[in-house]
Structure 1
Amino acid sequence: MDKNALPGANWREFLLWLVGQRRRFRVTGQSMVPLLQPQEEVLADPRAYRDAAPEPGEIVVAEHPDRPRFWLVKRVLFVRENGDCVLVGDNSDASTDSRAFGAVPAAKILGRVTSRFS
């Protein structure tokens, strides 16, 4: 995926969301600006990492490692040998990310962002 692009949800993504194969999340902060704006919604594939680790550059939804049920939309900077992911926001000045809370365990990566939902 191009670092500076994220496609809009097409009919296939919409149908996958309707049948429960995509999850919908709302961006709440400025950390992914200019790619994603506050209040924009995205669809994520919760099955994306069942058999493979995230790749650097992918955008993921993760649970904050210290705040249960607080979800983050971030970019994967790199994946450690143990599977933990170092996550960063595209707008580093406005992002609370792995620089503050460390690497995120693989079990807390909820899915790969596949599209904008508008």
Structure 2
Amino acid sequence: MCPLSCIFRVTGLSMLPLLLPGDEVLVNPRAYRSRLPRPGEIVIACHPARPALRLIKRVAAVSGDRYCHLMGDNPAQSTDSRSFGAVSIDRILGRVTSIFK
């Protein structure tokens, strides 16, 4: 992961209508060094079963045991915590801070 910020390109439909395929997002990998993610924030995370696969999802809930429920804004096109369960905070790569259309 990058030290200060990274740019990721959106490839799927799971975050429609906010994010379209081809949009780019700026990610802060240091966002959660001193605090937990908050519901409503958009994050980049590693898929729990396929760590090389990067997901862009919205934090739906955070539990006290350092796990997050991640959801896509477009549920009909999203593989998210409804299918793979809660995601460890350790699998979150950073918080989306900017969107480039």
TM-score (structure 2 length as normaliser):
0.94
Q: Secondary structure at the match of 1:65?
A: coil
Q: Hey, what does 1:78 align to over in structure 2?
A: 61
Q: Distance in 1 between matches of 2:3 and 2:94?
A: 13
Greater share of helix: 1
RMSD, aligned CA = 1.3
Q: Hey, what does 1:66 align to over in structure 2?
A: 49
Q: Distance in 1 between matches of 2:64 and 2:80?
A: 19
Give 4+ residue runs of structure 1 displaced > 3 Å after superposition: none
- The number of residue pairs the alignment matches comes to 100
Write out aligned runs for 1:2-21 (5 A).
20-21=3-4
Shift of 1:24: 1.0
Q: Distance in 1 between matches of 2:41 and 2:51?
A: 22
Task: Indicate the percent of aligned positions where both proteins have the same amino acid.
Answer: 57
Who wins on radius of gyration, i.e. which is larger? 1
Consecutive unaligned residues of structure 1, counting only runs of 5 or more, are 1-18
Consecutive unaligned residues of structure 2, counting only runs of 5 or more, are none
Shift of 1:28: 1.0
2:33 corresponds, among 29, 50, 73, to 50
Q: Distance in 1 between matches of 2:50 and 2:68?
A: 17
